[in-house]
Chain A
Amino acid sequence: EVQLLESGGGLVQPGGSLRLSCAASGFTFSSYVMCWVRQAPGKGPECVSSITGDSIYTYYAASVKGRFTISRDNSKNTLFLEMNNLRVDDTAIYYCARRGSTYAFDYWGQGTLVPVSS
């Protein structure tokens, strides 16, 4: 059974930093593109960053480029998102999601909440 479990969320002040983790199990982690998808309250999802299985290619949405860094440790089946210089509009639930062979997100974690507020 595919499982994705996020951790690391929590209240942070504007300008602060946070590191999210996503522990994966039930599939060959290194074979899949993984994404961090966030959803602000009452809004649609937004993929903010993705990374190929071999970590060679990464993608960042314009809204987070230069502030967020995605990485993965295939030996530990874990995905990371380092978030710096956080802003109030980064407030969201952050999900990790597996990108399937048809470029859709076929499995999602339950998410971790990141409120950015002073």
Chain B
Amino acid sequence: EIVLTQSPGTLSLSPGERATLSCRASQSVNNNYLAWYQQKPGQPPRLLIHGASSRATGIPDRFSGSGSGTDFTLTVSRLEPEDFAMYYCQQYGSSPLYTFGQGTKLEIK
């Protein structure tokens, strides 16, 4: 069974800084079917990145995804006030078919 481990659990940064979030899989992610989501309180998750590195429609280019195999990274190049939220990674293909990480909270320092 594949497990996604996100780190750090909480990341405290200031607007304008660069954020680097990690998602590590316990086994290789099938075809790099790895996605990243942003979630704000009271809202559903919002797709940011799919296929490990492709931005979803309407997502600003300050968000970028990278990685392959078992190690993936979400980078926010210059944090805007609206970027402070929870972030989750998610894989498709390995058992269980869909798996989410436990999340990283990006908070204002």
A interface vs B, CB < 8 Å?
35, 43-47, 50, 59, 61-62, 95, 97, 100, 102-106, 108-111
Contacts and interface: CB of A to CB of B under 8 A. Distances in A.
B96 A61 contact: yes
Contacts, number: 61
B88 A44 contact: yes
Contacts of B96: 47, 61-62
B interface majority secondary structure: loop
Given A44-B103, A50-B98, A59-B97, A104 B44 contact: no
B97 A105 contact: no
A105 B35 contact: yes
A97 to B, nearest CB: 8
Given A44-B88, A44-B103, A59-B97, A102 B44 contact: no
Interface stretch (B12-20, B49-57, B69-77): B49-57
